Each structure stands twice: as structure tokens, then as C-alpha cells.
Structure 1
């Protein structure tokens, strides 16, 4: 077999169905919806609107959020059809293996692994920053050496980031049923924090802070005008990338063909409404320039509201921020779940050592979970929040582009060797191409450092693939059982 044929060798979808049959099918539609909302409404909503408004957009940060919602919604529809036709663990990695071949699947999987790994550290770092703000207001100050990563304000290690990753990984290792109960409860708390902020903050909105809504562009910078909105759109896209965690856990859903598409689209819609509401209130409360370099703009805005009841507002600010910190754990849970399942998929297929593809007596891939925990601890404890926030979106956007193109290959096989999905992308064949184009435009607007990190990550991925994965791949080595063959035959009828 030539090299070209080998890297384009497609995977029999029945094999994935057989391999995923060993996982527990415990996740309901409610669990998946909570997983999606919990991932999307993360540290971003409590930090990025103020930072982006100050650095790039002014009040027009709302426009950037709307553009990102449209872009994410277009990709989400492609994800929904893919997940309905192929509800496999590993999501985009597994889908592209089936549609284009295992080299292209590896590229998508490697891109998503970067997103998930960095997102774990990003969320933990954000939790640490906000928790330290709460502790400071109570008079408890963590020594700088233990409060910040190396090279940041005299720090050696972010101890809080380290602890929360280990704590959440322990929870995930207990199983999906217990994890989903905690996740659902924390999502409710997080949405409550957002609602309280919006309702309280609306009383302090000054319409003068919205003028000019789109500040004039400052020549030689990425601030103001449509140039600033474009830069803000690329920076804020990180807020919407988490819906892929729903698809990544499709192999453990009770009824994935219905629940996964509903959870993906529902989570994006709910997140968009909350992002827009928080942004409008935040930039209306104070001039946007006051949020520059502010890592906790929501709590800061509540504490500085002009009022006759400062003590009450300080208590409200601490209450909202406290609930927000608890709610931030939902995104961390989601990304740890998704990354461990993706790494399990790699090990299951022989793309990395088989150690990562093993499951324990409880049918949980805890070997991959242990590895993800170590990687997250290393990144989260040693790298700064600002560094992490710049590099998450790059790999994700590459994966989104390939998955969007994959819809064309999927349509030719639906009702043949793949079942007919219960959700289909509207406006086919225009929508997948438009989703690809919009995603590409967002990618091109990323910072130079994000693109450089992405290139380095993909070079490393190519080295792993050609030195190990291509030689040890066993994706098509497993036997297809009669039951799986029957399932696919029935889907053709």
C-alpha cells in the first residue's frame, strides 16, 4: 500500500460502534445540555467582555459576540448532523477518520486535543484569579510565590489552579452519573449568577457610555472601527468553542441521535443570549476604558456602582462572584471529560500507546484521565491566564473547518453504510461552505502568537503521526460483529 493510500484509508464506522459499546450509556439530554451550557458559560463571560471592550471594540463588543454566535451556530449545525449520523466517542476525530481517512482524522483530533488541554488550564487559571479576588476581599492573601505561574508577579506556581484540576479529575473518575449531577447543579448556580448581575447592573447603566458605540479606528492598532470588531471577534471566539465537548461524549449518551443535536444547538442559543446581555450591561455601567487589565470586571463593576448602599453591593458582588467561581467548575468538568475521552479514542485506535485506550472495571477510561490531569496541572500551574487565552481557538478553528467540509462526504454515505441522521443541516450545500468560510475568516484574525503556537503544535502532531501512529494504527484491525453489521444494514432500509 502506498503512503498516499495508507494515510487516506477510511475507517469502517461499525468498528467504532463496536468499540464504544463497552462504555456506559448514562448521559441524558438534560445532562448533555447542562454539559454544553456549563462549558460555554465559563470563565470567558466573567472576564473577556470587559477586556475585549477596553483593548479592541469599545461598546461594540456586543457585535463581536453576535458575529461569533453566528459562526459557532453554523459550525454547530454541521456538528449536529455528524453526531446524529455517527454518535462516536472522539467526535470530529472519529468522524473524519470515517469520512476522509485516519491522517485527516488525526489532524482534527490533534487540534481538538490542544483546545481541550489548554482549556483545562485556562479554566483553572480563571478560577484561581477570581477565587483570589474573593479571598483578598476577605483579608486572606495567598503569597505571590504560590499565587502566580512562573514569571508572573514573582510567582513560582499557581497552587489553586493545581488543586482545582486534581479535585475535578477525582470527581470525573467517579463516573458520569455522579459527575453529571454535580454538573447540573453548578450550571444552575452559574446561570443564577449571570441573571443577578444583569438585573442589578441594569440599574446602573448610563446610556452615555454607549457613545460612540463603535469608536473610531486608531491607526496602527487593533482598536476601534471594524478592525477592532474583527480583532475582538477572533479573541472572543474562545467563548463558543466548548460545544464540541457535547459531541465528544456522544458515545456515553443514552439516545445520542436526538439528544446530542438538541444539546449542541440549545447550549449555543442560551450562551449567546447571556453573552450579549452581560456585555451590554457591563459596558453600560462604566466607560469601557476602565476595564483595561481587569481580570474580574463583573465583580469590580458591582462593587463600584454609585449607590447609597455600598455594603449591600459589596455583599452582592461577593455573592455573584462566589457563585460564579463555583459555576466555573462546570467548564472544567466538561473539558476534562472531553479531553480524557478523546485521548481514550487515540489509544483505542493505536494512534498513541494502548495504555491510553484502556478502561477500568467501572468502564471508565481513567488512564487517559490521569494523563489529562497531569497535563492540565502542568499548564495551569505554570502558564499565565493571558498566555493561555491567546492560543485556545487556533486548533479548534482548524478542526471546525475540516468538519464543515466533511458534511459533503457524509451526505453521499447517509442511508448506505451510515444511518440517516435525525438532524440535517439546512440550506445544503450552501451552509457547510459558508460555515467553512466564516471560520477561516475568524482564524485569520487571530493574533500572531496564536498562529505560531498552532503551527508548532501541528508540527509536533505530524512527528507523532509519522513516527508512531501510522505504524501502530489498528483502526481497521478489529473485527466487525454480526450485530453491528446488522445495525448498518437496517439503516439502509
Structure 2
């Protein structure tokens, strides 16, 4: 099992029982913070452009239906994210869900896809931010020196604005998430106000005649637009050519629009930093996605109602052009401001999520363990610097604006595993507490997987080719590094070796000692690390499989159900514990305490019987009191 690439992480381990304080993240988010996080990443400059581009090139006024279709598909996926986030509230998001549901290799594949999504998205949005910032300076009449004009707003090559915004936000994240959270609140509030102003002003110029025909007649797609996988399959089977507009155009616009909604999944990466995560993470995911769909629909209705779709120029600022045609050119400056703010928040949240996924994968040993280091503020500063540095290098060396669809395919690939993970955990771990449950899960999961697969088929063949190359590189890295360095592999290997290190039984004829008298079991050397008796007794032995073997211990005779013990072959005192932010050991009775159901018997030794003698001396000073000034000597060592 230790060398099996499909080894699955127990849910109890994934939720942090083995992670020490050095690898803990600080709690910083509440439900309203998560909603702001979602709005920050899902609402960018695309809200002012994507509706006009898709209306002009693919769907016409029926682009409104495309927004609804894409929103429903993303909402289906969000429901499954919400259930898994309530069961496994950890920083890894879909990576961690796949680890507990399918195994390590699949977890690595999903995590590698998430890194592609967020790393490339941060680079793409930083480039777009530079373009919009340069346009805003021009619209506001701010003079730009000639030497600087060639270094900003460039689609490829060195760009000073893209470099500067990434450096600023990475530095902010590496020093503490609270500063980034306050900044995010301010910028999200400002851009929501701008969007509300755009919708209110635009609706005053609404003309119902611009909505006819609502579904324009289908026509062949323009040359050079790129062939999708679905087009290639249909062309091979039916000899048909790609078409736009009509019903097919409405469906074809949905995958591009789904790119605008992508980001709700990033909320799940903040689970370890969220107060009452099993309840608040599902709320944050669903509420933020619904609000985003409403805002996008409002802008889409405004845009197609202000100007006819055949008069829109998809290569320019479509919404600003619509306001110019309506005689409200001042709104172009408002849109510039909203676009810059919107893209800033997108970059910030993408970097937060990328840092948490890298942190989670390195904590599990699949990436270098040093990246999981946190400083005194509970922020993974090394993961932040490395992730941000990779985004900076990519934005300055690659023509990332041509790889926008790579972000979509990486995200949709992760979406496929989440509904399947819900079904797998419901089958394998029905005992888990689920604060949020997806209704009619088998049917809903089938719909979600089918809808996501259909969106992926509408991506270009070239995008699929690049994606397969990226995934092949990821599998190679796992086989060379991650498989050998996996922390789960190390722990499983150590557990399998524990019985071989135990001393053989050697009866010595010592007196039998009952459980009420304290001390280790009869027969010879003590059980390794025993802390339930009065200490080591050189004349007693431990017998594997006997009455004092913790792996074979019977149920509590007083009816208290034994807690789950995922490490049956390890002595209790060497098992890691959840120390929490105060660096204190977990409080509570030992897992096989026969008096847990009756505290009076522990205090007074009452109700003695021959089978259960008085309890005095059974647990001599076994647990620390509240007034302890230091950790007790038996505190477990953290192997992580």
C-alpha cells in the first residue's frame, strides 16, 4: 500500500489531524469575506465586454440565454463543491477532494490542472490589466512619456504595468492575508458600484427593437476562428461546417461565457482560513455565484438593449462604444475605472488560491516541502513568492493572451472530478457528517458531468493539444519526484513496519494486574509508549493480538462507541495530534477509557465490581490542567 500510486488519504488525515502549527494557516475569513472573494475573482473587466463580443460574433441578442445556460452548468458544479467543502474543508480544493476520493495519482493530476488554471489566469489577467490601465490613462488625459508608452499596455514582451501589479500583489499576500482582505473589500465594493451605475444608466437607453430578431438565422463561422473538438467530430461524421448564430450559436457561446463564471471554485481554497468552514464555505460559493450571474445578466441585457448586435465591434471596447452611440460618452471613463478595479481583484484572488493549492500539495510532499512553511502570521510566504514569481516570469516571456482557453480547460477538468468525488465518498464513507448535501446526487452528478464534458468539447483542438502536453509533463514530474516524496507513502510505510519492531512475547510468570490497578498488561515488557498505567514494568510483556493490543481491543463495556482509529498499528502516544493554533495537545479522555460514560466512577471509584475494580490511580496525572504553564512531557511529536 505504501508504494501504491492510488493510495487514498483518509478524510481524518486530510482535515488536519497530522498537520502541526508550523503548517497551519491563520483563520481570517467569514461568510461575507468569502462572498467578496468570489465576486472579486468572477467579476473582472470581462463583464463589460464578453456579452458584446458573443452577441456580435456567435449568438446575437440570444446571448442572454447563453449566460443562463453557462450559469446553470456552473451552479451544478458549485453544489458539489459545496458538499465536498463541507466534508473536507482544506486548502487544496479539488486536489484534496480527489486525494480522499480517488487516490494520490488522480489528486496530483487535478492539482496540476489547477496550477495551470490559476498560474496562467494570473498572467493573462495581469496583461489585460496593463492594457486597460494604459487605456484609462489615455481616456483621462494623463500624459505618458514616450519612453514609457512602449513599456505599458503591450500584448506580449516586457510590460512594466503587468510586472508592477504582480509584484505589488504578491508582496501583499506574502506579508499577511488580512491586508489583502481589506484591500479586496474596498475594490470589490467600488467595482460593484460601477457595475450598478452602468446598468442603471444603460437601461435608460434600452430599445426593445434591438432585441429582434432574438435568435438570428444561423450562418457559417468566419475563417480562422479555430475548430473546436465538437466541430471536428461532427465534421468527420456529417461533413458539416462550423456555424454561428441560431440555436447552435446560443449553445456555442456558453463555454466562452463559462470562463467569466470560473472562480467560485477558488473559494474552497480558503477553507482552512475560514471560520466554521463546513457551514460558511458552501454559503460563500453558492451566494457569490448567484450574485455574479445576476450582475452579468444585468450587463448583458443592458448592452444588447442599447445597440443592435450587428453594429457592435468585438475588437474594441464594446460597452463604451454603445454608450458613445447613445450620447453618454462620460460612461466610458467610468467603465475604464471599473475594468481596472475588477482586474485587480481577479489577480489578487487568483494569487491567493494558487498559493493555497501549492501550499497544500507541498504539505503532502508532492511538491518540495519547504513551500509549506508559514511565518508567524500564518501565511505560506514561500508558496506565495514562488507562485507569484512563476506568474511574473510567464507574463513577461509568453504570449499568454493567446492561451486564454487553457485556463478554461484546466478548470473544467477539475470540475469533472468533483461530482464524481461526491458519489465516491457517499459510497465509501457514508458515516461522514455532511452539513451540506446535494439533492438527488446520482442524477445531479450525471447532469453536471455531462454538462462540463460538453463545455470541454466546445474548446479548440489546439487548446486540447496544449493541455495534453501539460498533463503529460505533470505525470512525469509525479513519477520522478512526487511518488517518492509523498508524506502519505512515508506514513503508510512506517505503519507497516511498526509490528516488526515490537519485542516478542516472553512470559515471566509475573502477577496479573487488573485494569483498575494501573500499569501495563501482564507478561513482560510494557506496551511501547503506554501512558494509561503507572509506568514501565520490566517484568511484563506486550502480546500482539492480546487483550491489551490497541488494534484488537474490544468495545467499551459501558457502551461508549470507540472513536475512529485510522492508525491501528501505531501506539497511541506516537500518533500525531491536532495541536491547533495554541500549540497545545488535544484534550479529552483516551480512546478506550472504560469510565468515559460515567465520570462519577472516575472521580470516586464508585460502583466497583470484580470485573471493574475502583478507578483510583487508573489515570495518574494523565492530562494537563488549565493552569499548566507548559506542555506535558508526553506531548506527541508532529511528524509533518
Do these two structures clear the TM 0.5 threshold for a shared fold by scoring above it? yes
Which of 318, 321, 330 pairs up with 1:300?
321
1:277 lines up with 2:298 in the alignment: yes
Q: Which moved more, 1:456-465 or 1:208-217?
A: 208-217
Q: Is the 8 A contact 1:148 1:157 kept in 2?
A: no
How well do the aligned residues superpose, as a CA RMSD in angstroms?
Answer: 2.3
Distance in 2, matches of 1:156 and 1:114, equals: 20
SS of 1:350's equivalent in the other structure is coil
Q: Which has the higher helix share?
A: 1
Q: Is the 8 A contact 2:73 2:452 kept in 1?
A: yes
User: Residue by residue, what CA displacement relative to the aligned partner does 1:142-195 show, whole Å, maximum 9, x if unpaired?
Assistant: 75642355xx5xx63222112111111122123122211111121111111111
Q: Is the 8 A contact 1:87 1:256 kept in 2?
A: yes
Distance in 2, matches of 1:268 and 1:350, equals: 33
Distance in 1, matches of 2:41 and 2:6, equals: 33
Task: State the shift of 1:31 in Å.
Answer: 0.9
SS of 1:25's equivalent in the other structure is coil
Q: 2:280 aligns to what?
A: 259
Task: State the shift of 1:8 in Å.
Answer: 1.1
| Alignment CA distance shift 1:2-1:326 (3 Å) | closer
Q: 1:456 aligns to what?
A: 469
Q: 1:123 aligns to what?
A: 125
Q: 1:72 aligns to what?
A: 74
1:170 lines up with 2:132 in the alignment: no
SS of 1:364's equivalent in the other structure is coil
Q: Which moved more, 1:107-116 or 1:473-482?
A: 473-482
Which of 375, 379, 385 pairs up with 1:370?
385
Distance in 2, matches of 1:122 and 1:222, equals: 28
Q: 2:211 aligns to what?
A: 210
Distance in 2, matches of 1:486 and 1:92, equals: 32
Task: State the shift of 1:382 in Å.
Answer: 4.1
| Alignment CA distance shift 1:126-1:291 (3 Å) | farther
1:147 lines up with 2:130 in the alignment: no
| Alignment CA distance shift 1:60-1:184 (3 Å) | same
Q: Is the 8 A contact 1:89 1:342 kept in 2?
A: yes
- Structure 2 unaligned blocks of 5 or more: 221-240, 492-573, 580-585, 592-640
Q: Is the 8 A contact 2:45 2:338 kept in 1?
A: no
Task: State the shift of 1:356 in Å.
Answer: 1.7
SS of 1:35's equivalent in the other structure is helix
Q: Is the 8 A contact 1:14 1:480 kept in 2?
A: no
Task: State the shift of 1:359 in Å.
Answer: 1.6
SS of 1:439's equivalent in the other structure is helix
Q: Is the 8 A contact 1:99 1:409 kept in 2?
A: yes
Task: State the shift of 1:403 in Å.
Answer: 1.1
Give the alignment of 1:31-180 within 5 angstroms: 31-139=33-141, 140-141=143-144, 145-149=150-154, 152=155, 156-180=157-181
SS of 2:423's equivalent in the other structure is helix
Q: 1:224 aligns to what?
A: 245
Paired residues, what number?
Answer: 474
Q: 1:315 aligns to what?
A: 330
Q: Is the 8 A contact 2:127 2:401 kept in 1?
A: no
Distance in 2, matches of 1:337 and 1:117, equals: 11
User: Residue by residue, what CA displacement relative to the aligned partner does 1:233-285 show, whole Å, maximum 9, x if unpaired?
Assistant: 11121111101111011011111011100000001100111111111111222
Distance in 1, matches of 2:313 and 2:331, equals: 23
Distance in 2, matches of 1:261 and 1:57, equals: 33
Which of 424, 434, 452 pairs up with 2:447?
434
Task: State the shift of 1:70 in Å.
Answer: 0.5
- Structure 1 unaligned blocks of 5 or more: 308-312
Q: Is the 8 A contact 2:132 2:153 kept in 1?
A: no
Q: Which structure is larger by alpha-carbon Rg, 1 or 2?
A: 2
After TM superposition, the score normalised by the length of structure 2 is: 0.70
Distance in 2, matches of 1:456 and 1:450, equals: 10
Q: Is the 8 A contact 2:254 2:455 kept in 1?
A: yes
Q: Which moved more, 1:472-481 or 1:171-180?
A: 472-481
Q: Which moved more, 1:13-22 or 1:388-397?
A: 13-22
Which of 359, 364, 381 pairs up with 2:396?
381
Q: Is the 8 A contact 1:204 1:306 kept in 2?
A: yes
1:330 lines up with 2:332 in the alignment: no
After TM superposition, the score normalised by the length of structure 1 is: 0.90
Q: 2:193 aligns to what?
A: 192
Q: Is the 8 A contact 1:124 1:332 kept in 2?
A: yes
Give the alignment of 1:331-480 within 5 angstroms: 331-384=346-399, 386-414=401-429, 416=431, 419-475=432-488, 477=490, 480=575
Q: Is the 8 A contact 1:187 1:327 kept in 2?
A: yes
